[in-house]
Chains A and B, each alone.
Chain A
């Protein structure tokens, strides 16, 4: 038997063989950009070179036929080069403006909506969900598909006060990240433990250590070593489930959606901010999640009507104040909106500032 092939540990590849030559030629030499129309960016270099980037939506989880269609469009109109964005949009670069209409038509004909530039709703960033994750409370691809169907016009037009990043996450680990609007699974009941399986499937000290509120302790049930949960302490975060699958946190009825707003990574204008809870208790209503869509639509419509240009969702809420946010969006404010986690005191109103 021959020796196994050892990997070439090549690491991150050189980008130059895969990058459009106009980008390589002007690497670090761009002067300014404009947005000639929704879905199109024009970048101009100091030497006068111009490149138009046409941006289109994808479903992220793509079959090879879809990717080959993209490759064909790139060959036909964009010199054979493609770039993806971190939110799974696809970009085609052209140096000849006269090809733009034909490229956009080809993308539309192939089912790739052109948009996602400037003050638009960008593609929802999403995670794996039921298709591939080992701990998901819901599906990500389906929730994103449903919401993007609803937000289709908002993706293709540039009519929001600023760009809107929406994220989804299938558990409270929140792989979707911070968002202007974040749609995240929120468990509402402690895990259901299969005591027969714990001893064989779980490294018990590791599981005990994962709990953020020290609610898990070793126990013996039916003569078998297992774990038990102090249900008065448990915050149903699901942290014990990945290292111990017999501690099932997902529940068809009690695993709900919560909606958060005001997350922002950039340091542009205001400092980065975390998203904040605004709605919860929404049912995990596959395959279309209409209750979630309704809340997102209401927040977006209110933001669009009320925010000033360039305000992100969180900046808008900060300016008008949270009482006005809940009033305008008609969402209930409950005791669960008041932070009681460590450091939560920083989220209380330590001032006489009240808007009337």
Chain B
């Protein structure tokens, strides 16, 4: 039997309405868990005063320098005694799930049993970085809890200035658009650089995200330092009979309005016989027409990835999307995946050596210029890296002829 519940008139208002209520869940836990009784007390205080009351600190497990998010209450009386003592320590353990967030019911139950024994019983599935997060652990319970989870075959995720947990879209497991094996890529790349996750020593965080196509269901473009996005370089595949079926079912007007005119590069035409013509040289692999007519259209056979670097949100210098570093790379063989791993290692090393403290890769590139970055990692210049060439003349070009010769040599 837990301690008596605090009055929570504000949080109680979040129990009505049709959407699942986290407050109801926490109250269920509070019936036999003092930590959750006091968590409700602190949270209600925040709702009343409109202020947060957690501070960080240093809590970890043996062998690792990161992965636990320490939280200590700041709500204390005049004698420095916590007002809500059972929740005075409320740490999070970040656990790396399988790519694609797949679970068996048995696995989830095992997590629940371990977490009920050691912690609050509150689980966040999943954090924005992609971790399965166990929220609400006392300092003393962190190590035994992690030991049990580690013995189940699961490892700590990343936190702080470190390699972070990766995220993949559903990918080849259940999507016809997936142009590369994002699960293998996620597992191989993260595991190759695990030392940078468990012993944080980078200038700041490094996030990988993996999306099977330009629909970018893992939000890689802006939410990762290195975005790996599937694409293809041969012609898209067309089943003209299925095109005709779509036209018959929806009408020519619908196809014109929702497919043909929506192509960003005017690469599509609807023929008089209700078949589709595609100018594959103009197509930018944006996925729209394929999304609308999934039975008739699909990516080509010569698949690979585009690599973009530098995505991040506001702080410190403003928002960045990732920009293209490598327009196309084959990763459908072991050698291809190894080459991706090698290139990623070059980028992380360059970042580790050249970024300032608390500077994201995109900010470093903004500071030193893209050319210094790609020369540093051994990638050639490519017109796919820009949306347009330079528009100002403020540049010194002492070796133009040499640079032009390099390009001509590569084209030969």
User: Which positions in A face B, CB cutoff 8 Å?
Assistant: 4-15, 17-20, 23-24, 27-28, 30-34, 43, 51, 53, 57-68, 70-72, 74-75, 80-86, 88, 93, 111-113, 125, 127-139, 141-142, 145-146, 148-149, 152, 172-178, 206, 209-210, 212, 237, 239, 245, 250, 252, 255, 263, 265-270, 272, 274, 284, 286-288, 308-310, 341-343
Q: Is the interface of A mostly helix, strand, loop or mixed?
A: loop
Interface size class of B (residues with CB under 8 A): 35 or more
Question: Is the pair A6, B99 in contact by a Cβ cutoff of 8 Å?
Answer: no
A272–B288 CA distance with the chains assembled, in angstroms: 13
Chain B contacts for A86, CB-based, 8 A: 101, 126, 130, 167, 169, 217-219
Bound-state CA distance A65–B20 (Å) is 13
If A59-B19, A64-B112, A65-B28 touch, does A13 touch B223 (CB 8 Å cutoff)?
A: no
Closest Cβ of chain A to B281, distance in Å, is 18
Instruction: Tell me, rounded to whole Å, the shortest Cβ–Cβ distance linking A131 to chain B.
Output: 6
Residues in chain B within 8 A of chain A (CB atoms): 10-11, 13-14, 16-23, 25-26, 28-29, 39, 43, 46-47, 49-56, 61-64, 69, 71, 90, 92, 96-109, 111-112, 115-116, 121-126, 128, 130, 135, 143, 146-147, 150-151, 153-156, 166-167, 169-170, 172-176, 178, 181, 183, 186-187, 190-191, 194, 198, 214-223, 229, 257-258, 262-264, 284, 286-288, 291-292, 294-295, 298, 313-319, 321, 357-358
Identify which of A133, A252, A268 contacts B54 (C-beta below 8 A): A133
Q: How far is the CA of A13 from the CA of B95 in the complex (A)?
A: 11
CB-based contact B176/A132 at 8 Å: no
Output the least CB separation between B99 and chain A (Å): 5
Contacts of A125 in B (CB 8 A): 128
Q: Are A268 and B288 in contact (CB under 8 A)?
A: yes
- Closest B residue to A58 using CB positions: B20
Please provide the 5 A-B residue pairs with the shortest distance between their CB atoms, ordered closest to farther.
A149-B17, A63-B25, A71-B105, A130-B46, A11-B191
Q: B121 contacts A64, CB within 8 Å?
A: yes
Name 23 interchain pairs, CB-CB below 8 A, sorted by A: A12-B190, A13-B98, A31-B176, A34-B294, A53-B174, A62-B124, A65-B28, A81-B104, A84-B125, A86-B169, A130-B43, A132-B54, A134-B54, A136-B52, A142-B14, A145-B19, A145-B21, A173-B313, A177-B219, A252-B51, A268-B288, A269-B262, A288-B14
- Of A15, A65, A135, the residue contacting B100 (CB under 8 A) is A15
When the two chains form their complex, are residues B108 and A67 in contact, meaning their CB atoms are under 8 A apart?
A: yes
